[in-house]
Amino acid sequence: MVTAELHDIASARLRTTGQRYTTRRRALVEVLDQADGPLTIPQILELDRSLAQSSAYRNLAVLEQADVVHRIVTNDDFARYELAEDLTEHHHHLICRTCGSVADFTLDPSVEGDLDRVLADVADAQSFQADHHRLDLVGTCADCR
């Protein structure tokens, strides 16, 4: 997605919840857009030194509520943030148990389709209203091997 378009969508989604798309919030979206995986707050602050910690937490919460960003938590100490899937593409995570890093990967659409069908059956059987699935691969990243 083109960055300008990304900002337009983010702006529109914030407006529908009565929020402004401010400089700081734009900066957060930009940092997340340039990353190739979910980032922790310390990583975000490191990448844009102009951001204050408390504001970063608050603004990421606002952006999450507007469905612009998505918060994920691993066994790592910090939560991680990434752009909402409909702003990027459906993907999964390679989670390193040694250093805690998280990288993205995608599956073949046909595999995703099969998976969705199977999971829909499971959800039906349990009267569970499924919103989305989450598939992670846990192990050791190339750097830590």
Partner DNA sequence: GCGTGAATGAGAACAGTTCTCGGTTCAGCC
Partner DNA sequence: GGCTGAACCGAGAACTGTTCTCATTCACGC
CA–CA distance, 13 with 79 (Å, rounded to integer)? 23
Q: What's the burial of 24, exposed, middle or buried (CB within 10 Å: 0-12/13-18/19+)?
A: middle
Does 73 bind a second copy (CB under 8 A)? Our answer is: yes
* CB nearer to a second copy: pick between 49 and 132: 132
From DNA, a second copy, none, which one binds at residue 137 (CB under 5 to 8 Å depending on kind)? a second copy
Q: Please identify, among the stretches 75-83, 87-95, 107-115, 122-130, the one whose residues bind DNA according to the rule CB under 7 A.
A: 75-83
Residues in the chain: 145
CA distance 19 to 15: 5
Provide the CA 87 distance to its chain's centre, in angstroms: 10
The interface with DNA within residues 43-62 (CB under 7 A) comprises: 50-55, 57-59, 61-62
126 is a contact residue toward DNA (CB under 7 A): no
Which amino acid type is present at position 127? S
Contact residues toward DNA (CB under 7 A) are 14, 18-20, 22-25, 40-41, 50-55, 57-59, 61-62, 73, 77-79
